[in-house]
Amino acid sequence: MARKVIARIKGGLGNQLFIYSFAYELSRKLSSKLILDDKTGFYKDSYGRKPVFNKLVCKSDYRFIKVYEIITFYLCKILSHDISEKLGVKFLIELDNKQRVSWYSQDFSKVRIVFIEGYFQSYEYFYQSRFEIKTHLKFKIPHSDYYIRLEGLIRKSNSVAIHIRRRDYTNILDMDYYHKSIGLIKKSLISPYFFFFCDDIEWLNSNLGKFNTQNNYIVSTSEMNELMEFTLMSLCKNFIIANSSYSWWAAYLAGIESDGMVLAPDRTDIGVIDAFYPNSWLLVKG
């Protein structure tokens, strides 16, 4: 029987992409079938979040979990780890240690099923597969006139994505971070065009002038959904990201085959410390 790597998908878009990417890399290393559990991680999700992998343009070599595999997951969680491993089932649970990347060098030779739980928020977990992952993560989205217009502007300009996250979030970045980052962009780039992405449209419309930028475009409107905004963000050439896995991923995907500027908050409240931001990104205090 072929070995399986089953990844429990959960959280928002950015965290789902971290889980998928780690699981994809592991499945390649173990020559295993990748299975995505798009069910159990969203049961009674407090934010009403949904899995995104049914919206990919083309599916890589994975399938979604089946009912008997969900039953296996819950039964093996009840059993002790020793009994589970005798049955050929191993749980690979993210270590509660954000000080370093953990490589999980267990012996998988006798394992039939590996269940993955955690977020695994470091690019080092999937660096070897980054080019393949970029080709996988393209979403089916509607193309409105507004979307097409913005896409054209982003592609032809020295585009800078600015991400502001405010709703359902306790660690909101202050304006000082954005002012410092915008200042660095203005010193470094010729004729930058700023594209604003924010989950609080009313706040952004009221406060746009405080950013002291020209050539401004507000991407976030009522006619845009999460995947439309994410796709447009990932087309930008330069980034001022929030302390958010959402804009992290847009900047990371854009930077796999380009060398634009990425400015990120010098914070430790997300990701693996010293292994969350790629070395080429500039960290800004704020």
Which pTM does this prediction carry? 0.93
Residues 160 and 276 in one domain: yes
Number of domains in the chain: 2
Contact predicate 201/251, CB 8 Å: no
- The answer to whether residues 205 and 254 belong to one domain is yes
Residue 23 near residue 16 (C-beta atoms within 8 A): no
* Closest to 118 in 3D by CA, of 238, 11, 249, 250: 11
Q: Which of 136, 160, 182 is the last residue of a domain?
A: 136
Say yes or no: 46 and 159 in one domain: no
Query: Backbone phi, then psi, for 154, in 5-degree steps?
Result: -65, -45
- Single out the residue in 107, 136, 165 at which a domain terminates: 136
What local confidence, expressed as pLDDT, does residue 99 receive? Answer: 57
Residue with tokens 């509607």: 142
Give the whole-angstrom CA distance, residue 230 versus residue 247.
8
pLDDT in tens for each of the 286 residues of the chain?
Answer: 579 999 999 999 999 999 999 999 999 999 999 999 999 999 888 889 999 999 998 777 899 999 999 999 999 888 877 888 888 898 888 876 565 666 666 778 888 999 999 999 999 999 999 999 999 999 998 889 999 999 999 999 999 999 999 877 778 899 999 999 999 999 999 999 999 999 999 999 999 999 988 899 999 998 899 999 999 999 999 999 999 999 999 999 999 878 899 999 997 777 777 789 999 999 998 7
256, 257, 264: which is closest to 161 by C-alpha? 264
| Claim to verify: residue 126 and residue 154 sit in the same structural domain | no
Determine the residue type at 207: N
Q: Which of 182, 195, 191 is closest to 147 using CA atoms?
A: 195
pLDDT for 239 = 98
Pair 151, 272 in one domain: yes
